[in-house]
C-alpha cells in the first residue's frame, strides 16, 4: 500500500525560497501563548529558521512518503523553484484539484477552525477575520488567517480524503496544542516522534550537560545535507536517500493502513518493530540495565507499555525496516550539518550566517521534546 501524505504549499514555498535565494535575515511571526493559555501574542522570529524547518520537513517527507499531495490551486507559490519542481517531475509531488470538490469539505473547515481557537482571544480574532473577509475580500489579520483558517482547510481536506496531513512548521506548533496532533493516527508523525525521542535519549547519555541535544535536526535532513556538496546536490541526494529507505517507506504504508482501520492486532504487530528498535537503542546505553526501559505507544483508544530486553534482538536490527530506523536514530545530531548547510550557502562566516546559527540554537532550546510513542 503506497504511503501518501498531504502537505502544505506554504512548506514548499518556504523550502524553495531558502534553497534558491539563500538567507535574507528577514523576520516572521510566531504565535505565542501566555503561560495560562488564556492569551496570545505574536513574537518575531527568524524567517530563515522557519524556512529551514520547512526544508527539513520537505526532505524528510521525500524519504518517508511514496506520494506527496498538495492543493493545485496554490502550486504557483513553489513551481517557480527548480529544485522543488524537480521532485514533482519525479512523480513524487502531486498537485490535486481539491477546490473542485470544496463543497464536500468547506463546512468541516469552519468547524475545525473554531476548534483550533484554543482560547477566547483567538476565537474573537478569528471571527473578526471572517467578518473582514466577507465584507472586503481580505482578512484583517492575514497571518492568523493563513495559520489557523488555512490550516483548518487543510485538516478538512485531509479528513475528507483520508490522508495523513503534515502541516507547515508554524501550523504544527498550533495544532500540537489541540487534539489534531495529540494522539496522532498518522504513522509518519508517530514514527518521526519516536525517532526524535530515541535520538534525544542517546544525546543525553553521550553528554549529560545537554550541549549536544541543543541542536537536534531531523535525521533525514542531517543525512541528506551531510552527503551534499552544494545546493544543487540537495534534491538529488534526497532522491538517493529515498531509494535507500524503501523498506521504511513500505512499512509506513502498512502501518498507516492498520491505524486507519483501527486493526488492533495489526497495530500491535507493526508496533513490535518499534519496541525492538527501542531495545536495541538501549543496548548502546551502558548506564541503563537491560530490561529497564519502558516503551509506551498511545493512540487514545489503545495504550500499551512493554519493557526492553529480548534475546537475539541485535540480529533482527541488522536488516530491513529495523536497520533503517536504527540508522536514522544513530545519525549525528546536526551541529555539523548546520555548518555544512551554511557552507553550501556561502554563509559560514558571514554575520547573517552567524545570526542564523544563533537563532537556530535559541529555537531548539525552546522546542518541546516530542512525547515517546
pLDDT digits (tens, 9 = 90+) for 314-341: 778 888 999 999 999 999 888 899 999 9
Instruction: Provide the Cα torsion 274, 278, 280, 283; round to 10°.
Output: -170
Q: What backbone phi and psi angles, to 5 degrees, belong to 188?
A: -60, -45
Q: Give the strands of the sheet with 4-7, arranged side by side.
A: 93-96, 67-71, 4-7, 165-166
Residues 6 or more apart whose CB falls under 8 angstroms from that of 244 comprise: 324
- Other Cβ atoms less than 10 A from the Cβ of 278: the count is 24
Distance CA 235, CA 8 (A): 18
Question: Taking the domains of the chain in order of start, what are their residue ranges?
Answer: 1-180, 183-373
The predicted structure's pLDDT at residue 78: 97
- pTM (2 d.p.): 0.89
Residues 6+ apart with CB under 8 A from 349: none
Copy the grid coordinates of residue 84: 522543488
Here the cell at position 337 is: 550539518
Question: Which residues in the chain come in under a pLDDT of 50?
Answer: 182-183, 287-291, 297-308, 368-373
The predicted structure's pLDDT at residue 24: 95
Q: What sign does the dihedral 114-118-120-122 (CA atoms) show?
A: negative
What is the per-residue pLDDT for 311? 58
What are the φ/ψ torsions at residue 4 (nearest 5 degrees)?
Answer: -115, 145
Judge whether 67 and 5 are in contact, CB under 8 Å: yes
Sign of CA dihedral 288, 292, 297, 300: negative
Residue 70 belongs to what H/E stretch?
strand 67-71
- Residue for cell digits 482501520? 261
Q: According to the model, what pLDDT value does residue 214 have?
A: 62
H, E, C per residue of 265-288: HHHHHHHHHHHHHHHHHHCCCCCC
Kindly report, residue by residue over 204-261, the tens digit of the pLDDT.
Answer: 776 655 555 567 789 999 999 999 999 999 999 999 999 999 999 999 999 999 999 9
Amino acid at each position: 500500500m503506497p504511503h501518501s501524505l498531504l502537505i502544505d504549499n506554504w512548506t514548499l514555498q518556504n523550502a524553495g525560497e531558502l534553497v534558491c535565494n539563500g538567507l535574507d535575515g528577514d523576520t516572521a511571526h510566531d504565535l505565542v501563548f501566555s503561560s495560562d493559555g488564556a492569551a496570545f501574542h505574536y513574537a518575531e522570529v527568524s524567517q530563515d529558521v522557519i524556512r529551514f524547518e520547512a526544508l527539513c520537513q520537505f526532505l524528510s517527507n521525500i524519504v518517508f512518503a511514496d506520494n506527496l499531495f498538495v492543493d493545485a490551486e496554490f502550486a504557483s507559490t513553489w513551481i517557480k523553484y527548480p529544485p522543488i519542481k524537480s521532485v514533482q517531475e519525479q512523480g513524487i509531488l502531486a498537485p490535486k484539484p481539491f477546490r473542485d470538490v470544496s463543497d464536500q469539505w468547506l463546512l468541516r473547515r469552519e468547524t475545525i477552525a473554531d476548534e483550533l481557537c484554543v482560547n477566547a482571544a483567538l476565537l474573537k480574532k478569528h471571527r473578526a477575520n471572517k467578518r473582514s473577509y466577507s465584507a472586503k475580500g481580505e482578512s484583517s489579520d492575514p497571518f492568523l488567517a493563513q495559520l489557523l483558517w488555512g490550516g483548518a482547510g487543510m485538516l478538512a481536506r485531509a479528513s475528507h480524503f483520508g490522508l495523513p496531513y503534515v502541516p507547515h512548521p508554524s501550523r504544527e506548533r498550533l495544532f500540537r496544542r489541540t487534539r489534531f496532533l495529540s494522539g496522532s493516527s498518522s504513522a509518519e508523525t508517530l514514527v518521526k516522534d519516536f525517532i526524535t525521542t530515541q535520538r534525544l535519549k542517546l544525546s543525553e547519555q553521550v553528554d549529560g550537560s545537554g550541549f549536544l541535544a541543543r541542536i537536534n535536526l531531523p535525521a533525514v535532513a542531517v543525512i541528506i545535507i551531510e552527503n551534499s556538496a552544494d545546493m544543487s546536490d540537495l534534491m538529488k541526494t534526497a532522491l538517493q536517500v529515498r531509494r535507500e529507505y524503501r523498506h521504511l517507506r513500505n512499512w509506513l504504508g502498512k502501518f498507516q493502513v492498520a491505524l486507519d482501520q483501527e486493526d488492533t492486532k495489526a497495530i500491535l504487530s507493526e508496533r513490535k518493530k518499534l519496541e525492538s528498535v527501542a531495545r536495541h537503542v538501549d543496548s548502546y546505553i551502558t548506564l541503563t540495565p537491560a530490561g529497564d526501559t519502558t516503551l509506551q505507544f498511545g493512540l487514545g483508544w489503545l495504550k500499551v507499555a512493554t519493557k526492553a530486553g529480548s534475546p537475539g534482538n541485535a540480529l533482527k536490527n541488522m536488516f530491513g525496516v529495523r536497520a533503517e530506523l536504527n540508522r536514522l536514530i544513530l545519525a549525528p545530531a546536526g551541529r555539523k550539518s548546520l555548518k555544512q548547510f551554511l557552507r553550501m550557502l556561502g554563509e559560514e562566516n558571514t554575520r547573517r550566517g552567524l545570526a542564523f546559527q544563533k537563532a537556530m540554537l535559541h529555537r531548539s532550546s525552546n522546542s518541546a521534546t516530542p512525547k515517546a510513542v
